Amino acid sequence: MDYLERNWIRGRFWNPVHWSCFNLLLRTNNDCEGLHNDCNKLAGGPNLPFYKMTMVLEQLCEDVKLSQKLLLHEKIKAHRKKETQLKNSILFTLWSRYHDNELSTVELLEEIVLELRTSFPTVVP
């Protein structure tokens, strides 16, 4: 516990602001997995020589820059499944109530479990 508190709670480089998913739309690593898959496709597989890997990373950076511009100008949008949109809507409503001091921390967690259990009975035991 000392290690966790020293490095992840009160650490100089990593603290809850960096790793907490509270009040964030994205809470999965799906985007990272997608980037990793793109990298493997561009590279033609794993075990790349260093210089080929740098060329692949350069191309990925260019793709990210383009995607950023397109998102900024609302030319493309991130795709979210309806189930994910519903889940996000529930969570953001609860978080808003928490921010407005309508819910305590314990009540927030209880409401999240209750809502998710009701909305997604097969997902939340």
Q: Of the residues 56, 72, 88, which one is the last residue of a structural domain? A: 72
Q: Would 18 be classed as within a structural domain?
A: no
Same domain membership, residue 91 and residue 121:
yes
41 compared with 100, residue with greater pLDDT: 100
At 120, the pLDDT band (50, 70, 90 cuts) reads low
Same domain membership, residue 84 and residue 120:
yes
Q: Could you identify the residue written with the tokens 């990210």?
A: 64
**Statement: residue 30 has pLDDT above 80:** no
Mean pLDDT, residues 96-109: 94
The structure tokens listed for 124 are: 């939340």
Mean pLDDT, residues 78-82: 75
Residues 6+ apart with CB under 8 A from 38: 60, 63
Same domain membership, residue 45 and residue 66:
yes
Same domain membership, residue 64 and residue 43:
yes
Full residue range of the structural domain in which residue 92 is found = 80-125
Q: Would 14 be classed as within a structural domain?
A: no
pTM of the entire predicted model: 0.51
Q: Would 24 be classed as within a structural domain?
A: no
Mean pLDDT, residues 9-17: 82
Provide the number of structural domains found in the chain: 2
Q: Would 17 be classed as within a structural domain?
A: no
Q: Would 13 be classed as within a structural domain?
A: no
Gyration radius (Cα) of the chain, Å: 20
**Statement: residue 53 has pLDDT above 80:** yes
Judged by average pLDDT, the poorest of 15-19, 52-56, 65-69, 77-81 is 77-81
Q: Would 6 be classed as within a structural domain?
A: no
Q: Would 21 be classed as within a structural domain?
A: no
